[in-house]
């Protein structure tokens, strides 16, 4: 499986800083792209601006959300069609921060997934359990519910497993945690999609750092990583993207 590295810049970056960061990453990305796919997801305001630079270097352009409707009176929102028109290829949906702060629920995320696919975007659907669910052994029940309720039966995108208790804490899940959860998710996806194929990309996200990346990317079943804070530093992001490759220095 060819792994994917996605950088989620969240609500960071004005035009100059965003351009400088993207330029620093793309300058050194060439050899990495021989073995892995790379996508950067800047704020909406930088999508159109960064598309020429990223596309020139073979880096995908991602967005951090889209609306479930094609268009309409939805002040402040952005549609899948608008994203596609700006050169976007991937869109992150159902991130735990949007679930928490914007009260997004599984059925809404499923509608967004279907709308994204309608406009040729690859949905990257985030799933994950809270610390309480982990402690009470409810994680698999919750993850299974997210899979069945967020993904249409013909889903062909990407799933990102992000344990909520690890996001922004600086502490990634252990290799054993990740392998166990990804084994469960691959099985859940196979059941939900009614297929024996377990090759769908399932990324890991949650305080991924350069020093942890090689061990995370070596876990069986890991299709790549979704990087948050570390993607705001070219050095850190490139260190993660190179981790475990023969070209790593």
Residues annotated catalytic, as ranges: 95, 162
Helix (H, G, I), strand (E, B) or coil at 112: helix
Is 8 annotated as a binding-site member?
yes
Tell which phi-psi region holds residue 206, choosing left (phi > 0), alpha (psi between -120 and 50) or beta: left
Residue 168 marked as a ligand binder = yes
Consult the annotation and say whether 9 binds a ligand.
Answer: yes
Taking each continuous run of H as one helix and of E as one strand, the counts in the chain are: 10, 8
CB neighbour burial string for 101-129, b if at least 16 within 10 angstroms, e if fewer: eeebebebbbbbbbbbbebebbbbbbbbb
Can you spell out the DSSP letters for 147-204?
HHHHS-TT--SEEEE--TTTTTTS-PPPHHHHHHHHHHHHHHHHHHHT-S---S-EEE
- Is there a binding annotation on residue 236? no
Please check if 96 is assigned to a binding site.
Answer: no
What span, in angstroms and rounded, lies between the C-alpha atoms of 121 and 78? 14
> Annotated binding residue at 228?
yes
- Alpha-carbon dihedral 39, 44, 49, 55, rounded to 10 degrees: 20
Task: From 98, 241, 115, select the one nearest 162 (Cα to Cα).
Answer: 98
Strand-pairing partners, residue 148, are none
Q: Is 207 known as a binding-site position?
A: yes
Output the known binding site.
8-10, 168, 207, 228-229
Binding residues for substrate: 8-10, 168, 207, 228-229
């Amino acid at each position: 499986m060819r792994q994917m590295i996605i950088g989620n810049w969240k609500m960071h970056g004005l035009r100059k800083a965003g351009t400088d960061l993207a330029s620093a990453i793309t300058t050194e990305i060439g050899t990495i792209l021989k073995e892995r796919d790379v996508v950067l997801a800047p704020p909406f305001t930088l999508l159109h601006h960064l598309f020429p630079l990223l596309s020139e270097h073979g880096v995908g352009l991602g967005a951090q959300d889209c609306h479930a409707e094609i268009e309409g009176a939805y002040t402040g929102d952005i549609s899948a069609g608008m994203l596609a028109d700006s050169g976007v290829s991937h869109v992150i949906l159902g991130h735990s921060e949007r679930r928490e702060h914007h009260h997004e629920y599984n059925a809404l995320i499923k509608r967004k997934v279907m709308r994204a696919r309608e406009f040729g975007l690859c949905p990257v659907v985030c799933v994950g359990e809270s610390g309480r669910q982990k402690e009470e052994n409810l994680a698999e029940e919750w993850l299974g519910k997210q899979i069945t309720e967020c993904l249409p039966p013909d889903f062909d995108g990407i799933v990102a497993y992000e344990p909520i208790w690890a996001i922004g804490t600086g502490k990634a899940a252990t290799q054993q945690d990740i392998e166990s959860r990804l084994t469960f998710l691959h099985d859940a996806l196979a059941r939900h999609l009614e297929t024996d194929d377990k090759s769908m990309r399932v990324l890991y996200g949650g305080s991924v750092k350069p020093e942890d990346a090689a061990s995370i990317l070596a876990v069986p079943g890991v299709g790549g990583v979704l990087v948050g804070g570390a993607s705001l530093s070219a050095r850190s992001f490139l260190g993660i993207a190179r981790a475990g490759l023969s070209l790593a220095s």
